[in-house]
Chain A
Amino acid sequence: MTGSQARSHHEQRAGIAEQDLFAAANEMIQGYLTGRLHRSDTGHLIDELQRLIEERYPNPERLGCPNTEHLAQLTSGRCGCESTIAHVKKCAPCFRKCSDLLHGKTRKDSL
């Protein structure tokens, strides 16, 4: 646990440090984006993430977007580049593209 920081009564009652929960959520998001974790194994987390990204980061001008090949490398787990993941988490078109790539991959895998 993140022991050095003072913990709120909520954290103490649940025995969970917020920071640890965030780290786990981040890990799940990263696992999803790199194709290690199926969307259905993330509960509502990825659905809500996508909804929030669409709402808060529409990025219609596609500012700073990596190319499709780069996103394909990310979703196939060949590149876990932090900066790409950070971008995808704040760019609706890139997140959609990753989801499409992952969905395609899942469908292909299940055939």
Chain B
Amino acid sequence: METYPQGWEREFDRTGRRIREDVREAGRKVWAKVRMKVRTRLCDGEDADEIMEAAVDGISRYLNKLNLPEDSASPEGLLLHAVRRRVLKGWRKQNRLVPLEEAATLPDPAPFDEWTLEIERRADLPKILRQLSPRGCTICLLRLEGVCWPRIGEYLGIPESTAQNSFWRELRQAQIKLGINPRR
């Protein structure tokens, strides 16, 4: 499988500024997904490199402007958001070129919206996790390890349903606190 280095994977941007390592690292992580999505949405995998390059440069500059040290941010979400905006821009541009008589054949934008929402939802998850209480984290970690709800209830000394309900209630409270609409 093709991995990196890619064209976007550079130490300095076109103006000679150093690109942050945390952003490059995030780029490596999301690259496969970005390339696939660009190929799917814009029907041209060649654009992916260019889009990624611009997104990595932009986010690196943005984080530097905020004076955030390299180990303090987790820029995958920001990077995906920047890529999404650029893909959307490219997608709109492509669709402007479709003659009006072929408007009926335009792809349904719904799958794109679904994808963007998915990215946003996933970007929200670390924020939600940070809001969890120690007990909420314990439940999450036990579930992560494959422990079933009845055993979690036993471990915490509470009924299974209480464990389950309190965990999900906590998640929804975190969403409310963060202003995240679960139904978007």
B130 within 8 A of A: yes
Contact (Cβ within 8 A) B137 A44: yes
Could you tell me if B72 and A38 are in contact, using CB atoms closer than 8 angstroms?
yes
Interface centre among B74, B125, B142, by most chain A C-beta atoms within 10 angstroms, is: B125
Summarize B's interface: helix, strand, loop or mixed.
helix
Residue of A nearest to B142 (CB): A52
Q: Which of A18-73 contact B (CB under 8 A)?
A: 18, 20-28, 31, 35-38, 41-45, 47-49, 51-52
Known contacts A21-B125, A24-B129, A15 near B183 by CB under 8 Å: yes
Selected contact of A28 from candidates B72, B129, B171, CB within 8 Å: B129
Chain B: minimal CB distance from A83 (Å) = 17
A111 within 8 Å of B (CB atoms): no
Q: Pick the contact of A36 from B22, B122, B132, B136 — CB < 8 Å?
A: B22
Minimum CB–CB distance for B72 against chain A, Å: 7
Which B149-176 residues sit within 8 Å CB-CB of chain A? 164-165, 168, 171-172, 175
| CB of A9 to closest CB in B, whole Å | 9
User: Beyond A15-B183, A22-B143, is A36–B137 a contact (Cβ under 8 Å)?
Assistant: no
> What is the distance, in angstroms, from A12's C-beta to the closest C-beta of chain B?
9
Residues of B within 8 A of A (CB): 22, 25, 71-72, 74, 118, 121-122, 125-126, 128-134, 136-138, 140-144, 164-165, 168, 171-172, 175, 182-184
Since A16-B182, A21-B128, A22-B144 are in contact, a sample of 4 more A-B pairs with Cβ atoms closer than 8 Å, ordered by chain A residue number, is A24-B128, A36-B25, A45-B137, A109-B71
